[in-house]
Amino acid sequence: MAAALGKVRPAALDALAVHRDWLSAKLAAGDGDFADPRIGAERFARKLSLTLSAQADSDAILARAESDLERITEHITGLAAELGGTPRQVLDRLAAAAPDEQTILAFCAGALAAQTEFVRDRDLVTLYDDPVELIDMPEIDRGVAVAYCDSPGPLETAPLPTFIAVSPTPADWTPERTASFYREYNRHMVHNLMVHEAMPGHYLQLQHSRRFAGATRLRAALRSGSFIEGWAVYAERLMAEHGYPGEGDPRAVRMQQLKMQLRTTINAILDARVHAHGMTETEAMALMTGRGFQEEGEAAGKWRRALLTSAQLSTYYVGYTEVSDLAAELAASGLAERAAHDRMLGHGSPPVRLLRTVI
């Protein structure tokens, strides 16, 4: 296709330049919508539907998220009481078990090995042995999360490794900011994070996805972000509910998983309330640090992300609810857990609404 692409490439570059100049002029003039990054209720509803590849009722999603916030708060409060305190007190105790720059990579490798063995022993989903490497995260990507999954391209046929990139903190961070980062991503939370990024989350799910062989390779290339993230969030709950022990006490992992579920739910609430209902920074920070038990630095970064990535923060929550609902329906039909999960992962990474038509 090189010749055909070569013919249209100059026009595409010209169009990008025109669009860039238009944006620059709008920003310089402070015109209208560009004075505030909030996109408004109507545009948010339209953009959410496009992002989720389905007609989305943004008000219904917000209502369900706010209801789930109450339900999850009850769960984490009850579990914290078993552990001898309020959620904030228990999470503060768990946060004290922090990794450091010298041990984080080895710690993640140990967590991945333990999680792989746990999934195998519990027969939760079919495992493959595709290569995986834990690497130091490139400096440019550091400071957002402790780890991310970088799988081979969807059309790649060579047996290339998946990289799980693990982050020391950026070199220019103060000791105080580094300490806050590792309180948020403490040893118990890193176990939960590795479930999400690796086993049985992104790393395993994308191994299944690459094995789908349909009549066209188009499905492999067009992955649904909400399905991929929804499965990874569902994997966190799956492992916690099966008693994955992490550092020894499954309740510590469950506390972190519930905290992450609060974060996922609050992400969707922020997305809608910031862009469609005028939520202020003060209100957003109070929600995240209060109801979400987040560190100040984590919440500050999320506020900026909410302003700049309208409709993206909803994908985790919506994807999770769709995947979770589908798993519950398959379980109710009598399918064994592994069979249900293999069926869910056996069709590439399509939106759940389309997965339902072939599962």
* 359 residues of the chain, pLDDT tens digit each: 899 999 999 999 999 999 999 989 888 887 655 668 899 999 999 999 988 877 889 999 999 999 999 999 999 999 999 999 999 999 999 999 988 888 889 999 999 999 999 999 999 999 999 999 999 999 888 777 778 999 998 888 898 999 999 988 888 888 888 888 888 889 999 999 999 999 999 999 999 998 998 887 787 788 898 899 999 999 999 999 999 999 999 999 999 999 999 999 999 999 999 999 999 999 999 999 999 999 887 898 899 889 989 999 999 999 999 999 999 999 999 999 999 999 999 999 999 999 999 88
Longest dimension (CA), the chain: 68
Per the DSSP assignment, residues forming a β-bridge with 133 are 163
Distance (Å, whole) CA 70 – CA 61: 15
Cis preceding linkage at 200, omega within 30: yes
- Give this prediction's pTM: 0.87
Distance (Å, whole) CA 213 – CA 141: 33
Burial of 324 (0-12, 13-18, 19+ CB in 10 A): middle
Distance (Å, whole) CA 275 – CA 288: 17
How many whole angstroms from its chain centre is CA 83? 27
Residues 6+ apart with CB under 8 A from 191: 111, 115, 244, 246, 247, 253, 256
Per the document, the length of the chain is 359
